[in-house]
Structure 1
Amino acid sequence: MKCNITTIGGGTGTFNVLSGLGKNRQLNLAAIVSVADSGGSTGELRDEFGILPPGDIRRAIVALSDDTEVVRRLFEYRFKEGRSIAGHTVGNLLLTALSEITGDFERGIEELSDMFAVHGKVIPVTLDNVSLGVTLENGERIVGESDIDIPKHDGDIPIRDAFLLGGGHLNPRAREAIENSDYIIIGPGDLYTSLVPNLLCAGMVDALRTTRAKIVYVCNVMTKYGETGGFSVEDFVRVLERYLGEGRIDYVLVNSGELRPDLVAKYQAEGKSPVVLRDRDALIRKGIKLVERDFTSATDYLRHDPRKLARTVEDFASGWIK
């Protein structure tokens, strides 16, 4: 019997998880994807056509696609010239067109998934046209995912909490996937702009607290300026538990691999730093099981390696990690 795996997130983090798992036919995969993105091509298409933001949906489709590398490159190709199409990716334009043709955003996703032989389901977390906002510790409110992601305000001021404008009811198909999952993978990804927006949807927390699935949180390798400056593993877990409630995270995946000093220095120049585990016992006392492995990619970026993540998720699915 196949194991049902559902990911929750958005951006590059979710892409890495899905691209590692996509070739495993022993898994039933579902990707629940944030629709709070408001920058770049995604934001322009969202404003002009009134559709949900296609960017993170596009990445998930690419990650789960069976097509050739050339087709993937076409799907991700971003036009550099042309007054009306400069900055847009082929995938974003295709999803927008299919949504217009079918008259339904989810139907457009299904048609595009069929075109690219996607292994699994790609599900927007909500069908409402939401905007993400945060309140800083000084009381200032920032509205718009892109302004949180790349702060125009003082990024050293911590975020107090996050909120959604415009509704945000959990997509029934997302609830169904959660209810029928064996494991739910949250992260990796930007805490407040890729993960928390999913948890803010009305009905999400209830679904996660009543499912029989084990919840696995993949903690980030690096902090991010404006969102998680100076965070430890415990800080990431603390914020997630603020929305989920304590006692719901079963496992936390923590990178134990060494980071290249030259890359660390490069990231530190951008206000980022390695995420460290300061108090292992504090998490264990919460009933959380830690899985500490080398998850890093052997590239010029300090991020998770898709195959290393996939092997660990496969260890859960096969019963090697209990």
Structure 2
Amino acid sequence: MKKKSKQKNIVVIGGGTGTYTVLTGLKQYPVNLTAIVSMADGGGSTKILREEFGILPPGSVRPALIALSNASQTLAELFNFRFNKGSFNGHNFGNLFITALTEQFGSFEKALEEAGKILRIQGQVIPSTLENVRLIAELENGKIVRGETNIDVPKHDGNLRIQKIWLEPEAKGGTILYPPKANPKASSAIKAADLIVIGPGDLFSSIIPNFLAEGMSKALQQAHGKKAYVCNIMTKFGETTGFSAKDFLDTIEKYLGENSIDYILANKTKPSKERVKKYEKEKAEFVEGSLKEFAGRKVKVVRGDFLRKKGFIRHDANKLAKALISLV
């Protein structure tokens, strides 16, 4: 009798819409999925809940939970429902629900486990760190920007490049915990992975913060699984203005180490002028890149048509998943 092959372990690192897209596509395949998400989110509903309840950011984990959900569509959509009036104005139901579970069980990790059971998720969602942290950036002119929201939506000159970012720990009982430590479960998942998918997503506010907790970059450097970086299709003003595909990869490897990425998946299909025009107000541009940019480097370039056919200029979940599965 032919022995059944063991299901592959795939870890997806990031946060937000990009991670949601990758997980949605990969969920269609017989693989073990783990999402590792940044704990640097500090805007909107999440900011209020963090300040009032002292919890880790529920808004960071919610998209991954919904992507992996096998519950009814109504329940999944409920987790994304945002109130637009009354005392809950601006709050997301999923954020409130995760906050309530954290209060009930006294643990953010336990809250995620229970939310996962309710949503019948196919896989697991793990915070990159279990410590309360704030994201800090230094711009090329030396200016310091504090907080993920202020990096994500710049009040400063967004044409200035970010030189470096780091995590600033919160005080606990008068003691500063520094540097913030990686979540051991995240490190273990990376160690056991056959494929590690990084991105897509906002480079400095969603992706790289995952590498900044002590032990995370080392775990990724020592991982035996293949590492694939999914490059963004559009730049983001204030974070990656003027970036090419090579700039994205160079920045990732600045934090993970030279030649740490095995594959870069780069979209080659240009969206129509009409679709791009909608992004002009946000000063976002199509990410250019050619094979010549990566000549002489270890990384293998996987170029393909990864673009959604219509709507927002984002990756097509199914096209992307098919390319990623081929790497395992």
Q: 2:75 aligns with which of 65, 68, 71?
A: 71
Q: 2:165 aligns with which of 162, 176, 179?
A: 162
SS in 1 for 2:283: coil
Q: 1:195 aligns with which of 174, 191, 207?
A: 207
Given that 1:135 and 1:160 are in contact with CA atoms closer than 8 Å, whether structure 2 keeps it comes out as yes
For residues 227-306 of structure 1, the aligned pairs below 5 Å read: 227-278=239-290, 280-306=291-317
| Residue deviations 1:158-204 (CA, integer Å, cap 9, x gap) | 11111110042110000000000000000000000001101111101
Distance 1:305 1:45 in 2: 32
CA drift at 1:247? 1.2
**Consecutive aligned runs of 4 or more in structure 1 exceeding 6 Å deviation:** none
CA drift at 1:282? 4.1
Distance 1:238 1:310 in 2: 24
Distance 1:293 1:124 in 2: 31
Per mean C-alpha deviation after superposition, the further-off stretch among 257-266 and 176-185 is 257-266
Distance 2:247 2:324 in 1: 23
Question: Where in structure 2 are there 5+ consecutive unaligned residues?
Answer: 1-5, 170-178
For residues 187-226 of structure 1, the aligned pairs below 5 Å read: 187-226=199-238
Amino acid paired to 1:22: K
Amino acid paired to 1:64: L
Q: 1:177 aligns with which of 164, 181, 189?
A: 189
Given that 2:25 and 2:318 are in contact with CA atoms closer than 8 Å, whether structure 1 keeps it comes out as yes
Given that 2:270 and 2:286 are in contact with CA atoms closer than 8 Å, whether structure 1 keeps it comes out as no
Query: What TM-score, normalized to structure 1?
Result: 0.96
Root mean square deviation, CA, Å:
1.0
Per mean C-alpha deviation after superposition, the further-off stretch among 254-263 and 27-36 is 254-263
Distance 1:223 1:287 in 2: 24
Amino acid paired to 1:151: P
For residues 11-50 of structure 1, the aligned pairs below 5 Å read: 11-24=16-29, 26-50=30-54
Distance 2:65 2:125 in 1: 7
Q: For the structure 1 residues 192 and 96, does the alpha-carbon distance in structure 2 shift closer, same or farther, using more than 3 Å as the test?
A: same
SS in 1 for 2:247: helix
| Residue deviations 1:97-150 (CA, integer Å, cap 9, x gap) | 011101100000000000110000100000010000100000000000001000
Distance 1:191 1:226 in 2: 11
Given that 2:138 and 2:164 are in contact with CA atoms closer than 8 Å, whether structure 1 keeps it comes out as yes
Distance 1:220 1:27 in 2: 24
- Tell me whether 1:89 sits opposite 2:92 in the alignment: yes
Distance 1:156 1:219 in 2: 20
Query: What TM-score, normalized to structure 2?
Result: 0.94
SS in 2 for 1:113: helix
Aligned residues: 314
Given that 1:22 and 1:65 are in contact with CA atoms closer than 8 Å, whether structure 2 keeps it comes out as no
CA drift at 1:284? 3.9
SS in 1 for 2:282: coil
Per mean C-alpha deviation after superposition, the further-off stretch among 262-271 and 227-236 is 262-271
Question: Where in structure 1 are there 5+ consecutive unaligned residues?
Answer: 318-322
Amino acid paired to 1:239: T
Distance 1:66 1:101 in 2: 24
SS in 2 for 1:133: strand
Distance 1:90 1:311 in 2: 32
SS in 2 for 1:88: coil
Given that 2:200 and 2:232 are in contact with CA atoms closer than 8 Å, whether structure 1 keeps it comes out as yes
Amino acid paired to 1:174: A
| Residue deviations 1:30-81 (CA, integer Å, cap 9, x gap) | 0000010000011111111000001120110000000122111111111111
CA drift at 1:281? 3.3
